[in-house]
Chains A and B, each alone.
Chain A
Protein backbone atom coordinates (compact mmCIF):
# COMPACT_ATOMS: atom_id res chain seq x y z
CA UNK A 1 0.00 0.00 0.00
CA UNK A 2 0.94 3.61 -0.50
CA UNK A 3 1.90 5.68 2.49
CA UNK A 4 1.05 9.38 2.51
CA UNK A 5 4.71 10.48 2.61
CA UNK A 6 5.34 8.64 -0.63
CA UNK A 7 2.63 10.54 -2.44
CA UNK A 8 3.89 13.90 -1.30
CA UNK A 9 7.38 13.24 -2.55
CA UNK A 10 6.35 12.15 -6.02
CA UNK A 11 4.64 15.45 -6.60
CA UNK A 12 1.54 16.25 -8.61
CA UNK A 13 3.33 17.21 -11.82
CA UNK A 14 5.40 14.02 -11.98
CA UNK A 15 2.34 11.88 -11.46
CA UNK A 16 0.48 13.77 -14.14
CA UNK A 17 3.22 13.12 -16.68
CA UNK A 18 3.35 9.39 -15.95
CA UNK A 19 -0.34 8.73 -16.53
CA UNK A 20 -0.97 11.41 -19.17
CA UNK A 21 0.42 9.41 -22.10
CA UNK A 22 -1.58 6.19 -21.60
CA UNK A 23 -4.60 8.25 -20.57
CA UNK A 24 -4.61 10.37 -23.73
CA UNK A 25 -3.85 7.37 -25.91
CA UNK A 26 -6.85 5.43 -24.59
CA UNK A 27 -9.06 8.50 -24.74
CA UNK A 28 -8.24 9.03 -28.42
CA UNK A 29 -8.16 5.40 -29.56
CA UNK A 30 -10.63 3.75 -27.24
CA UNK A 31 -13.25 6.29 -26.10
CA UNK A 32 -13.50 8.71 -29.02
CA UNK A 33 -14.09 5.83 -31.50
CA UNK A 34 -17.27 4.90 -29.62
CA UNK A 35 -18.56 8.45 -30.02
CA UNK A 36 -17.95 8.13 -33.77
CA UNK A 37 -19.72 4.75 -33.87
CA UNK A 38 -22.67 6.37 -32.11
CA UNK A 39 -22.66 9.24 -34.61
CA UNK A 40 -22.52 6.98 -37.66
CA UNK A 41 -25.28 4.75 -36.29
CA UNK A 42 -27.55 7.78 -36.81
CA UNK A 43 -26.53 8.49 -40.41
CA UNK A 44 -27.89 7.33 -43.75
CA UNK A 45 -26.36 4.60 -45.86
CA UNK A 46 -24.79 6.14 -48.96
CA UNK A 47 -23.26 4.67 -52.11
CA UNK A 48 -19.99 6.50 -51.62
CA UNK A 49 -16.61 6.14 -49.94
CA UNK A 50 -17.01 6.06 -46.96
CA UNK A 51 -20.52 4.62 -47.35
CA UNK A 52 -22.49 6.96 -45.09
CA UNK A 53 -23.91 10.47 -45.33
CA UNK A 54 -22.68 13.24 -43.02
CA UNK A 55 -24.81 14.06 -39.99
CA UNK A 56 -24.12 17.77 -40.11
CA UNK A 57 -24.36 19.60 -43.42
CA UNK A 58 -24.23 23.20 -44.64
CA UNK A 59 -27.40 24.08 -46.48
CA UNK A 60 -26.79 27.13 -48.60
CA UNK A 61 -24.27 29.40 -46.91
CA UNK A 62 -25.77 30.32 -43.56
CA UNK A 63 -27.66 27.35 -42.24
CA UNK A 64 -26.36 24.19 -40.69
CA UNK A 65 -28.63 21.16 -40.84
CA UNK A 66 -28.28 18.28 -38.41
CA UNK A 67 -30.00 15.18 -39.63
CA UNK A 68 -30.43 12.47 -37.04
CA UNK A 69 -31.72 9.30 -38.55
CA UNK A 70 -33.29 6.58 -36.40
CA UNK A 71 -33.93 4.27 -39.35
CA UNK A 72 -31.00 2.00 -38.58
CA UNK A 73 -32.33 1.29 -35.11
CA UNK A 74 -35.90 0.95 -36.35
CA UNK A 75 -34.57 -1.52 -38.90
CA UNK A 76 -32.88 -3.60 -36.17
CA UNK A 77 -36.16 -3.93 -34.31
CA UNK A 78 -38.40 -4.64 -37.33
CA UNK A 79 -36.27 -7.28 -39.00
CA UNK A 80 -36.45 -10.32 -36.67
CA UNK A 81 -32.95 -11.39 -37.74
CA UNK A 82 -31.16 -8.96 -35.43
CA UNK A 83 -33.13 -9.54 -32.25
CA UNK A 84 -33.01 -13.27 -32.89
CA UNK A 85 -29.22 -13.11 -33.35
CA UNK A 86 -28.81 -11.03 -30.20
CA UNK A 87 -30.91 -13.38 -28.06
CA UNK A 88 -29.20 -16.41 -29.52
CA UNK A 89 -25.75 -14.92 -28.77
CA UNK A 90 -26.72 -14.35 -25.14
CA UNK A 91 -28.03 -17.92 -24.90
CA UNK A 92 -24.90 -19.42 -26.47
CA UNK A 93 -22.58 -17.30 -24.31
CA UNK A 94 -24.53 -18.16 -21.15
CA UNK A 95 -24.57 -21.92 -21.77
CA UNK A 96 -20.88 -21.84 -22.75
CA UNK A 97 -20.04 -20.03 -19.52
CA UNK A 98 -21.90 -22.69 -17.49
CA UNK A 99 -20.08 -25.47 -19.35
CA UNK A 100 -16.74 -23.73 -18.74
CA UNK A 101 -17.58 -23.55 -15.03
CA UNK A 102 -18.51 -27.24 -14.87
CA UNK A 103 -15.23 -28.23 -16.53
CA UNK A 104 -13.02 -25.45 -15.18
CA UNK A 105 -13.99 -25.35 -11.50
CA UNK A 106 -12.77 -28.86 -10.65
CA UNK A 107 -9.61 -28.18 -12.65
CA UNK A 108 -8.86 -24.89 -10.88
CA UNK A 109 -9.61 -26.58 -7.56
CA UNK A 110 -7.37 -29.53 -8.38
CA UNK A 111 -4.51 -27.22 -9.37
CA UNK A 112 -4.89 -25.12 -6.22
CA UNK A 113 -4.74 -28.24 -4.03
CA UNK A 114 -1.64 -29.70 -5.69
CA UNK A 115 1.85 -29.51 -4.22
CA UNK A 116 3.62 -26.27 -5.28
CA UNK A 117 5.96 -27.94 -7.79
CA UNK A 118 3.14 -29.84 -9.55
CA UNK A 119 1.00 -26.72 -9.37
CA UNK A 120 3.41 -24.67 -11.49
CA UNK A 121 3.51 -27.34 -14.19
CA UNK A 122 -0.28 -27.74 -14.23
CA UNK A 123 -0.72 -23.97 -14.42
CA UNK A 124 1.77 -23.73 -17.27
CA UNK A 125 -0.24 -26.37 -19.14
CA UNK A 126 -3.39 -24.22 -18.80
CA UNK A 127 -1.58 -21.07 -19.94
CA UNK A 128 0.14 -22.67 -22.92
CA UNK A 129 -2.94 -23.03 -25.19
CA UNK A 130 -3.86 -19.45 -24.29
CA UNK A 131 -0.59 -18.30 -25.89
CA UNK A 132 -1.17 -20.38 -29.03
CA UNK A 133 -3.23 -18.84 -31.81
CA UNK A 134 -6.99 -19.02 -31.18
CA UNK A 135 -7.58 -19.33 -34.91
CA UNK A 136 -5.34 -22.40 -35.17
CA UNK A 137 -6.88 -24.04 -32.12
CA UNK A 138 -10.39 -23.54 -33.52
CA UNK A 139 -9.15 -24.88 -36.84
CA UNK A 140 -8.00 -28.06 -35.06
CA UNK A 141 -11.64 -28.85 -34.27
CA UNK A 142 -12.57 -28.84 -37.98
CA UNK A 143 -10.17 -31.73 -38.43
CA UNK A 144 -11.57 -33.54 -35.40
CA UNK A 145 -15.28 -33.03 -36.06
CA UNK A 146 -15.72 -33.28 -39.84
CA UNK A 147 -17.38 -36.27 -41.55
CA UNK A 148 -14.09 -38.05 -42.29
CA UNK A 149 -12.42 -36.45 -39.29
CA UNK A 150 -10.56 -38.02 -36.40
CA UNK A 151 -13.53 -38.56 -34.04
CA UNK A 152 -15.72 -40.21 -36.69
CA UNK A 153 -12.83 -42.38 -37.90
CA UNK A 154 -12.10 -43.59 -34.37
CA UNK A 155 -15.78 -44.29 -33.61
CA UNK A 156 -16.21 -46.25 -36.86
CA UNK A 157 -13.00 -48.18 -36.21
CA UNK A 158 -14.27 -49.06 -32.72
CA UNK A 159 -17.55 -50.23 -34.26
CA UNK A 160 -19.59 -47.78 -32.16
CA UNK A 161 -21.19 -46.24 -35.26
CA UNK A 162 -21.50 -47.28 -38.91
CA UNK A 163 -22.28 -43.94 -40.53
CA UNK A 164 -20.23 -40.84 -39.70
CA UNK A 165 -22.01 -38.44 -37.34
CA UNK A 166 -22.71 -34.89 -38.52
CA UNK A 167 -20.91 -32.73 -35.97
CA UNK A 168 -19.15 -29.97 -37.88
CA UNK A 169 -21.25 -26.89 -38.77
CA UNK A 170 -23.77 -27.61 -35.99
CA UNK A 171 -24.52 -25.77 -32.72
CA UNK A 172 -22.69 -28.61 -30.94
CA UNK A 173 -19.45 -27.77 -32.78
CA UNK A 174 -19.86 -24.10 -31.90
CA UNK A 175 -20.29 -24.85 -28.19
CA UNK A 176 -17.26 -27.14 -28.22
CA UNK A 177 -15.21 -24.42 -29.90
CA UNK A 178 -16.26 -21.66 -27.50
CA UNK A 179 -15.79 -23.76 -24.34
CA UNK A 180 -12.43 -25.00 -25.61
CA UNK A 181 -11.15 -21.53 -26.46
CA UNK A 182 -12.36 -19.71 -23.35
CA UNK A 183 -11.65 -22.38 -20.71
CA UNK A 184 -8.22 -20.92 -19.71
CA UNK A 185 -9.84 -17.50 -19.16
CA UNK A 186 -12.09 -19.07 -16.54
CA UNK A 187 -9.50 -21.31 -14.88
CA UNK A 188 -6.85 -18.61 -14.31
CA UNK A 189 -8.81 -16.06 -12.22
CA UNK A 190 -10.57 -18.90 -10.39
CA UNK A 191 -7.24 -20.52 -9.55
CA UNK A 192 -5.83 -17.16 -8.38
CA UNK A 193 -8.79 -16.92 -6.02
CA UNK A 194 -8.72 -20.54 -4.75
CA UNK A 195 -4.96 -20.35 -4.20
CA UNK A 196 -5.54 -17.83 -1.40
CA UNK A 197 -8.10 -20.08 0.32
CA UNK A 198 -7.43 -21.17 3.89
CA UNK A 199 -7.90 -24.95 3.57
CA UNK A 200 -7.92 -25.37 7.35
CA UNK A 201 -11.47 -24.04 7.22
CA UNK A 202 -12.44 -27.21 5.34
CA UNK A 203 -10.71 -29.43 7.89
CA UNK A 204 -12.46 -27.59 10.70
CA UNK A 205 -15.81 -28.08 8.97
CA UNK A 206 -15.14 -31.79 8.54
CA UNK A 207 -14.02 -32.13 12.15
CA UNK A 208 -17.33 -30.60 13.12
CA UNK A 209 -19.16 -33.26 11.13
CA UNK A 210 -19.64 -31.72 7.69
CA UNK A 211 -19.68 -34.13 4.74
CA UNK A 212 -17.01 -33.16 2.13
CA UNK A 213 -19.61 -31.98 -0.40
CA UNK A 214 -21.38 -29.99 2.34
CA UNK A 215 -18.11 -28.34 3.30
CA UNK A 216 -17.53 -27.51 -0.37
CA UNK A 217 -21.01 -26.08 -0.80
CA UNK A 218 -20.95 -24.11 2.46
CA UNK A 219 -17.32 -22.90 2.53
CA UNK A 220 -15.31 -23.27 -0.68
CA UNK A 221 -18.00 -22.16 -3.10
CA UNK A 222 -19.08 -18.98 -1.23
CA UNK A 223 -15.45 -17.99 -0.59
CA UNK A 224 -14.55 -18.41 -4.27
CA UNK A 225 -17.51 -16.27 -5.39
CA UNK A 226 -15.36 -13.44 -6.75
CA UNK A 227 -13.17 -15.85 -8.69
CA UNK A 228 -16.24 -17.54 -10.19
CA UNK A 229 -17.73 -14.17 -11.17
CA UNK A 230 -14.50 -12.76 -12.64
CA UNK A 231 -13.84 -15.93 -14.65
CA UNK A 232 -17.44 -16.12 -15.86
CA UNK A 233 -17.36 -12.50 -17.07
CA UNK A 234 -14.11 -13.11 -18.93
CA UNK A 235 -15.91 -15.90 -20.80
CA UNK A 236 -19.42 -14.48 -21.14
CA UNK A 237 -18.73 -10.91 -22.34
CA UNK A 238 -16.38 -11.68 -25.26
CA UNK A 239 -18.36 -14.84 -26.15
CA UNK A 240 -21.52 -12.77 -26.80
CA UNK A 241 -19.70 -10.90 -29.57
CA UNK A 242 -17.63 -13.85 -30.80
CA UNK A 243 -17.06 -13.99 -34.54
CA UNK A 244 -14.32 -16.48 -35.44
CA UNK A 245 -15.76 -19.59 -33.75
CA UNK A 246 -19.33 -19.40 -35.16
CA UNK A 247 -17.89 -18.49 -38.57
CA UNK A 248 -15.61 -21.53 -38.69
CA UNK A 249 -17.50 -24.21 -36.75
CA UNK A 250 -21.13 -23.07 -36.60
CA UNK A 251 -22.17 -23.37 -40.22
CA UNK A 252 -24.37 -20.93 -42.14
CA UNK A 253 -27.26 -21.08 -39.65
CA UNK A 254 -25.25 -20.14 -36.57
CA UNK A 255 -26.76 -16.74 -35.91
CA UNK A 256 -24.46 -14.81 -33.65
CA UNK A 257 -24.54 -11.04 -33.35
CA UNK A 258 -20.79 -10.66 -33.92
CA UNK A 259 -21.17 -12.45 -37.20
CA UNK A 260 -24.18 -10.32 -38.20
CA UNK A 261 -22.11 -7.18 -37.52
CA UNK A 262 -19.22 -8.56 -39.58
CA UNK A 263 -21.49 -9.42 -42.54
CA UNK A 264 -23.25 -6.03 -42.45
CA UNK A 265 -19.86 -4.37 -42.56
CA UNK A 266 -17.86 -6.52 -44.98
CA UNK A 267 -20.53 -8.10 -47.23
CA UNK A 268 -23.29 -5.46 -47.32
CA UNK A 269 -21.06 -2.43 -46.76
CA UNK A 270 -23.85 -1.12 -44.49
CA UNK A 271 -21.60 0.77 -42.07
CA UNK A 272 -24.44 2.66 -40.31
CA UNK A 273 -26.35 -0.58 -39.68
CA UNK A 274 -23.17 -2.27 -38.40
CA UNK A 275 -22.64 0.73 -36.10
CA UNK A 276 -26.19 0.48 -34.76
CA UNK A 277 -25.61 -3.24 -34.07
CA UNK A 278 -22.38 -2.35 -32.23
CA UNK A 279 -24.17 0.25 -30.09
CA UNK A 280 -26.96 -2.19 -29.25
CA UNK A 281 -24.43 -4.84 -28.27
CA UNK A 282 -22.48 -2.32 -26.21
CA UNK A 283 -25.57 -1.18 -24.29
CA UNK A 284 -26.22 -4.81 -23.46
CA UNK A 285 -22.64 -5.54 -22.36
CA UNK A 286 -21.66 -2.37 -20.46
CA UNK A 287 -23.49 -3.40 -17.23
CA UNK A 288 -21.59 -6.71 -17.26
CA UNK A 289 -18.29 -4.87 -17.84
CA UNK A 290 -18.98 -2.59 -14.87
CA UNK A 291 -19.84 -5.62 -12.79
CA UNK A 292 -16.56 -7.23 -13.84
CA UNK A 293 -14.63 -4.12 -12.89
CA UNK A 294 -16.20 -3.98 -9.42
CA UNK A 295 -15.49 -7.68 -8.87
CA UNK A 296 -11.86 -7.07 -9.88
CA UNK A 297 -11.62 -4.12 -7.51
CA UNK A 298 -12.98 -6.26 -4.65
CA UNK A 299 -10.54 -9.07 -5.51
CA UNK A 300 -7.48 -6.83 -5.48
CA UNK A 301 -8.66 -5.05 -2.32
CA UNK A 302 -8.98 -8.47 -0.66
CA UNK A 303 -5.50 -9.47 -1.82
CA UNK A 304 -3.82 -6.67 0.06
Chain B
Protein backbone atom coordinates (compact mmCIF):
# COMPACT_ATOMS: atom_id res chain seq x y z
CA UNK B 1 0.00 0.00 0.00
CA UNK B 2 1.42 3.36 -0.87
CA UNK B 3 0.11 6.79 0.04
CA UNK B 4 1.38 8.74 -2.91
CA UNK B 5 0.26 12.25 -3.67
CA UNK B 6 1.74 14.42 -6.40
CA UNK B 7 2.27 18.18 -6.14
CA UNK B 8 -0.74 18.60 -8.40
CA UNK B 9 -2.98 16.73 -5.97
CA UNK B 10 -1.54 18.60 -2.97
CA UNK B 11 -2.21 21.95 -4.69
CA UNK B 12 -5.78 20.88 -5.46
CA UNK B 13 -6.31 19.88 -1.83
CA UNK B 14 -4.93 23.20 -0.58
CA UNK B 15 -7.14 25.25 -2.91
CA UNK B 16 -10.17 23.07 -2.23
CA UNK B 17 -9.93 23.45 1.52
CA UNK B 18 -9.24 27.18 1.20
CA UNK B 19 -12.41 27.46 -0.89
CA UNK B 20 -14.39 25.55 1.76
CA UNK B 21 -13.02 27.44 4.76
CA UNK B 22 -12.27 31.06 3.76
CA UNK B 23 -15.97 32.08 3.74
CA UNK B 24 -16.47 30.49 7.16
CA UNK B 25 -13.32 32.14 8.49
CA UNK B 26 -14.42 35.55 7.19
CA UNK B 27 -17.71 35.31 9.12
CA UNK B 28 -15.84 34.46 12.32
CA UNK B 29 -13.40 37.36 11.90
CA UNK B 30 -16.05 39.93 11.05
CA UNK B 31 -18.27 38.90 13.94
CA UNK B 32 -15.76 40.81 16.11
CA UNK B 33 -15.85 43.90 13.86
CA UNK B 34 -17.32 47.04 15.43
CA UNK B 35 -18.43 48.60 12.12
CA UNK B 36 -22.05 48.23 11.05
CA UNK B 37 -20.77 47.90 7.47
CA UNK B 38 -19.69 44.38 8.48
CA UNK B 39 -16.97 43.82 5.88
CA UNK B 40 -15.12 47.11 6.41
CA UNK B 41 -12.78 46.58 9.36
CA UNK B 42 -13.09 49.33 11.99
CA UNK B 43 -9.58 49.07 13.45
CA UNK B 44 -10.19 51.73 16.12
CA UNK B 45 -12.99 49.92 17.94
CA UNK B 46 -12.38 46.26 17.02
CA UNK B 47 -12.26 43.54 18.12
CA UNK B 48 -15.45 43.89 20.10
CA UNK B 49 -18.14 41.66 21.54
CA UNK B 50 -20.91 44.21 21.05
CA UNK B 51 -22.75 42.18 18.38
CA UNK B 52 -22.63 39.17 20.67
CA UNK B 53 -24.51 41.18 23.30
CA UNK B 54 -26.90 42.45 20.63
CA UNK B 55 -27.67 38.90 19.46
CA UNK B 56 -28.25 37.60 22.97
CA UNK B 57 -30.73 40.42 23.56
CA UNK B 58 -32.55 39.98 20.26
CA UNK B 59 -35.97 38.64 21.30
CA UNK B 60 -37.00 37.75 17.75
CA UNK B 61 -33.95 35.57 17.19
CA UNK B 62 -34.14 33.97 20.64
CA UNK B 63 -37.85 33.10 20.23
CA UNK B 64 -37.18 31.61 16.81
CA UNK B 65 -34.22 29.63 18.16
CA UNK B 66 -36.45 28.18 20.90
CA UNK B 67 -39.03 27.02 18.32
CA UNK B 68 -36.26 25.55 16.14
CA UNK B 69 -34.83 23.73 19.13
CA UNK B 70 -38.17 22.15 20.05
CA UNK B 71 -38.85 21.04 16.47
CA UNK B 72 -35.30 19.72 16.02
CA UNK B 73 -35.29 17.63 19.22
CA UNK B 74 -38.71 16.03 18.63
CA UNK B 75 -37.84 15.50 14.97
CA UNK B 76 -34.49 13.86 15.69
CA UNK B 77 -35.98 11.48 18.24
CA UNK B 78 -38.84 10.45 15.95
CA UNK B 79 -36.63 10.19 12.87
CA UNK B 80 -34.18 7.94 14.72
CA UNK B 81 -36.94 5.46 15.60
CA UNK B 82 -38.40 5.39 12.09
CA UNK B 83 -35.00 5.42 10.38
CA UNK B 84 -33.53 2.68 12.56
CA UNK B 85 -36.51 0.41 11.86
CA UNK B 86 -36.26 1.08 8.12
CA UNK B 87 -32.46 0.75 8.01
CA UNK B 88 -32.53 -2.45 10.05
CA UNK B 89 -35.32 -3.92 7.90
CA UNK B 90 -33.62 -3.05 4.62
CA UNK B 91 -30.25 -4.42 5.74
CA UNK B 92 -31.41 -7.66 7.37
CA UNK B 93 -34.48 -8.73 5.40
CA UNK B 94 -33.42 -9.24 1.81
CA UNK B 95 -36.83 -10.31 0.59
CA UNK B 96 -40.19 -8.94 1.64
CA UNK B 97 -43.11 -7.45 -0.18
CA UNK B 98 -42.64 -3.74 -0.54
CA UNK B 99 -38.85 -3.84 -0.11
CA UNK B 100 -38.32 -2.08 -3.42
CA UNK B 101 -40.88 0.59 -2.53
CA UNK B 102 -39.42 1.14 0.94
CA UNK B 103 -35.96 1.44 -0.56
CA UNK B 104 -37.18 3.96 -3.13
CA UNK B 105 -39.11 5.93 -0.50
CA UNK B 106 -36.02 6.23 1.71
CA UNK B 107 -33.70 7.18 -1.18
CA UNK B 108 -35.89 9.75 -2.94
CA UNK B 109 -36.09 12.29 -0.05
CA UNK B 110 -32.27 12.55 -0.09
CA UNK B 111 -32.26 14.11 -3.54
CA UNK B 112 -35.78 15.55 -3.82
CA UNK B 113 -35.69 19.34 -4.29
CA UNK B 114 -36.95 20.91 -1.08
CA UNK B 115 -39.52 23.12 -2.79
CA UNK B 116 -41.33 20.00 -4.04
CA UNK B 117 -41.29 18.23 -0.66
CA UNK B 118 -42.41 21.40 1.10
CA UNK B 119 -45.27 22.16 -1.29
CA UNK B 120 -46.53 18.57 -1.32
CA UNK B 121 -46.54 18.28 2.48
CA UNK B 122 -48.37 21.56 2.87
CA UNK B 123 -51.05 20.48 0.39
CA UNK B 124 -51.40 17.21 2.32
CA UNK B 125 -51.86 19.05 5.62
CA UNK B 126 -54.46 21.37 4.07
CA UNK B 127 -56.34 18.41 2.55
CA UNK B 128 -56.21 16.49 5.85
CA UNK B 129 -57.51 19.50 7.77
CA UNK B 130 -60.38 19.88 5.31
CA UNK B 131 -61.39 16.24 5.45
CA UNK B 132 -60.69 15.06 9.01
CA UNK B 133 -59.98 18.31 10.87
CA UNK B 134 -56.43 17.32 11.81
CA UNK B 135 -53.90 18.91 11.95
CA UNK B 136 -55.77 22.07 12.92
CA UNK B 137 -53.80 24.84 11.29
CA UNK B 138 -50.06 24.83 10.71
CA UNK B 139 -47.30 25.18 13.26
CA UNK B 140 -44.85 23.15 15.26
CA UNK B 141 -46.71 19.85 14.73
CA UNK B 142 -46.85 20.09 10.94
CA UNK B 143 -43.24 21.28 10.74
CA UNK B 144 -42.07 18.38 12.90
CA UNK B 145 -43.93 15.81 10.79
CA UNK B 146 -42.44 17.35 7.64
CA UNK B 147 -38.91 17.32 9.07
CA UNK B 148 -39.23 13.72 10.28
CA UNK B 149 -40.23 12.64 6.80
CA UNK B 150 -37.03 13.81 5.14
CA UNK B 151 -34.61 13.33 8.03
CA UNK B 152 -35.63 9.70 8.63
CA UNK B 153 -34.30 8.97 5.14
CA UNK B 154 -30.84 10.16 6.21
CA UNK B 155 -31.01 8.10 9.42
CA UNK B 156 -31.98 5.06 7.34
CA UNK B 157 -28.89 5.44 5.16
CA UNK B 158 -26.57 5.80 8.16
CA UNK B 159 -28.06 2.81 10.03
CA UNK B 160 -28.26 0.67 6.90
CA UNK B 161 -24.59 1.18 6.02
CA UNK B 162 -23.56 0.39 9.61
CA UNK B 163 -25.65 -2.79 9.51
CA UNK B 164 -23.94 -3.82 6.26
CA UNK B 165 -20.49 -3.66 7.85
CA UNK B 166 -21.06 -5.97 10.79
CA UNK B 167 -21.44 -9.71 10.55
CA UNK B 168 -24.91 -11.09 11.18
CA UNK B 169 -23.24 -14.23 12.61
CA UNK B 170 -23.39 -12.60 16.07
CA UNK B 171 -27.15 -12.25 15.83
CA UNK B 172 -27.50 -15.76 14.46
CA UNK B 173 -25.42 -17.20 17.27
CA UNK B 174 -27.67 -15.51 19.84
CA UNK B 175 -30.72 -16.91 18.10
CA UNK B 176 -29.22 -20.37 17.94
CA UNK B 177 -28.72 -20.12 21.70
CA UNK B 178 -32.43 -19.51 22.01
CA UNK B 179 -32.79 -15.73 22.29
CA UNK B 180 -36.03 -14.26 20.95
CA UNK B 181 -35.62 -11.88 17.96
CA UNK B 182 -36.65 -8.88 20.08
CA UNK B 183 -34.07 -9.74 22.74
CA UNK B 184 -31.39 -10.24 20.07
CA UNK B 185 -32.16 -6.79 18.72
CA UNK B 186 -31.89 -5.04 22.07
CA UNK B 187 -28.94 -7.03 23.46
CA UNK B 188 -26.80 -7.58 20.36
CA UNK B 189 -27.81 -5.36 17.45
CA UNK B 190 -28.65 -2.10 19.22
CA UNK B 191 -25.34 -1.76 21.14
CA UNK B 192 -23.38 -2.49 17.97
CA UNK B 193 -25.21 0.05 15.81
CA UNK B 194 -25.46 2.61 18.62
CA UNK B 195 -22.77 4.93 17.14
CA UNK B 196 -24.75 4.99 13.88
CA UNK B 197 -27.95 5.78 15.77
CA UNK B 198 -26.21 8.60 17.62
CA UNK B 199 -24.85 10.11 14.40
CA UNK B 200 -28.29 9.65 12.86
CA UNK B 201 -29.84 11.62 15.73
CA UNK B 202 -27.30 14.43 15.38
CA UNK B 203 -27.75 14.49 11.61
CA UNK B 204 -31.55 14.64 11.92
CA UNK B 205 -31.24 17.40 14.52
CA UNK B 206 -28.94 19.44 12.27
CA UNK B 207 -31.08 18.96 9.15
CA UNK B 208 -34.13 20.20 11.03
CA UNK B 209 -32.28 23.06 12.75
CA UNK B 210 -30.98 24.29 9.36
CA UNK B 211 -34.06 23.77 7.23
CA UNK B 212 -35.55 26.86 5.62
CA UNK B 213 -37.60 25.79 2.61
CA UNK B 214 -39.70 22.94 4.03
CA UNK B 215 -40.30 24.91 7.25
CA UNK B 216 -41.49 27.95 5.29
CA UNK B 217 -44.12 25.86 3.52
CA UNK B 218 -45.35 23.97 6.58
CA UNK B 219 -45.15 26.58 9.36
CA UNK B 220 -47.99 28.79 10.46
CA UNK B 221 -48.35 32.26 11.96
CA UNK B 222 -46.24 32.71 15.08
CA UNK B 223 -44.07 29.68 14.45
CA UNK B 224 -41.12 31.15 12.54
CA UNK B 225 -37.98 29.08 12.94
CA UNK B 226 -34.46 30.48 13.22
CA UNK B 227 -33.58 29.94 9.52
CA UNK B 228 -36.81 31.74 8.52
CA UNK B 229 -35.87 34.79 10.62
CA UNK B 230 -32.28 34.68 9.36
CA UNK B 231 -33.46 34.44 5.74
CA UNK B 232 -35.70 37.49 6.02
CA UNK B 233 -32.82 39.47 7.59
CA UNK B 234 -30.21 38.28 5.08
CA UNK B 235 -32.41 39.13 2.11
CA UNK B 236 -31.96 42.78 3.09
CA UNK B 237 -28.15 42.45 3.08
CA UNK B 238 -25.38 41.60 5.53
CA UNK B 239 -25.96 42.04 9.24
CA UNK B 240 -23.33 41.86 11.97
CA UNK B 241 -25.60 39.79 14.22
CA UNK B 242 -25.83 37.04 11.61
CA UNK B 243 -22.01 36.78 11.63
CA UNK B 244 -22.21 36.23 15.37
CA UNK B 245 -24.89 33.59 14.93
CA UNK B 246 -22.74 31.86 12.30
CA UNK B 247 -19.69 31.94 14.59
CA UNK B 248 -21.64 30.39 17.46
CA UNK B 249 -23.13 27.73 15.15
CA UNK B 250 -19.72 26.83 13.72
CA UNK B 251 -18.14 26.58 17.17
CA UNK B 252 -20.88 24.30 18.49
CA UNK B 253 -20.87 22.09 15.38
CA UNK B 254 -17.07 21.81 15.40
CA UNK B 255 -16.93 20.80 19.05
CA UNK B 256 -19.75 18.31 18.56
CA UNK B 257 -18.31 16.69 15.42
CA UNK B 258 -14.75 16.52 16.74
CA UNK B 259 -16.00 15.10 20.06
CA UNK B 260 -18.17 12.46 18.42
CA UNK B 261 -15.48 11.37 15.95
CA UNK B 262 -12.85 11.01 18.70
CA UNK B 263 -15.34 8.94 20.70
CA UNK B 264 -16.23 6.84 17.67
CA UNK B 265 -12.64 6.16 16.61
CA UNK B 266 -11.93 5.02 20.20
CA UNK B 267 -14.97 2.75 20.10
CA UNK B 268 -13.79 1.34 16.75
CA UNK B 269 -10.32 0.66 18.19
CA UNK B 270 -11.86 -1.11 21.19
CA UNK B 271 -14.00 -3.20 18.86
CA UNK B 272 -10.93 -4.20 16.83
CA UNK B 273 -8.90 -4.97 19.96
CA UNK B 274 -11.70 -6.92 21.62
Instruction: Give A contacts to B, CB under 8 Å.
Output: 1-3, 5-7, 9-11, 14-16, 18-19, 21-23, 25-27, 29-34, 36-37, 40, 50, 103-104, 106-107, 109-111, 113-115, 120, 122, 124-129, 131-137, 139-144, 146, 148-150, 153, 180, 183-184, 199, 203, 212, 233-234, 237-238, 240-244, 247-248, 258, 261-262, 265-266, 271, 274-275, 278, 281-282, 285, 288-289, 292-293, 296, 300, 303-304
Decide: A22 near B111, CB < 8 A? Known: A139-B234, A241-B116: no
Residue of A whose beta carbon sits closest to that of B38: A143
Q: Given that A115-B3, A293-B107 are contacting pairs, would A19 and B172 also be in contact in the complex, using a CB cutoff of 8 Å?
A: no
Q: Which residues of B contact A241 (CB under 8 A)?
A: 112-116
Q: Which residues 186-235 in B have Cβ within 8 Å of A in the complex? A: 203, 206, 209-210, 212-213, 216-217, 227, 230-231, 234-235
Which 7 pairs from chain A and chain B are nearest by CB? A241-B113, A33-B120, A106-B12, A140-B23, A22-B86, A19-B89, A26-B105
A37 engages B120 (CB within 8 Å): yes
Q: Bound complex: CA of A113 vs CA of B10, how far in Å?
A: 11
Contact A22 B85 (CB under 8 A): yes
Q: Are A142 and B16 in contact (CB under 8 A)?
A: no
Instruction: Known contacts A22-B86, A106-B9; decide if A140 and B24 are in contact (CB<8 Å).
Output: yes
**A120 and B123 form a contact (CB under 8 A):** no
Residues of A within 8 A of B181 (CB): 9-11, 14
Binding site for A on B (CB under 8 A): 1-6, 8-10, 12-13, 15-17, 19-24, 26-27, 30, 37-40, 81-83, 85-86, 88-90, 92-96, 98, 101-116, 119-121, 123-124, 126-127, 130, 145-146, 148-149, 152, 156, 161, 164, 168, 171-172, 175, 181-182, 203, 206, 209-210, 212-213, 216-217, 227, 230-231, 234-235, 237-238, 242-243, 245-246, 249-250, 253-254, 256-258, 261, 265
28 residue pairs bridging A and B, Cβ less than 8 Å apart: A6-B92, A7-B93, A10-B93, A18-B85, A18-B88, A19-B98, A22-B102, A22-B106, A22-B152, A23-B98, A29-B121, A37-B120, A103-B19, A107-B16, A114-B3, A125-B17, A125-B20, A131-B256, A133-B227, A133-B249, A140-B23, A140-B246, A144-B22, A153-B39, A238-B114, A241-B113, A248-B235, A271-B123
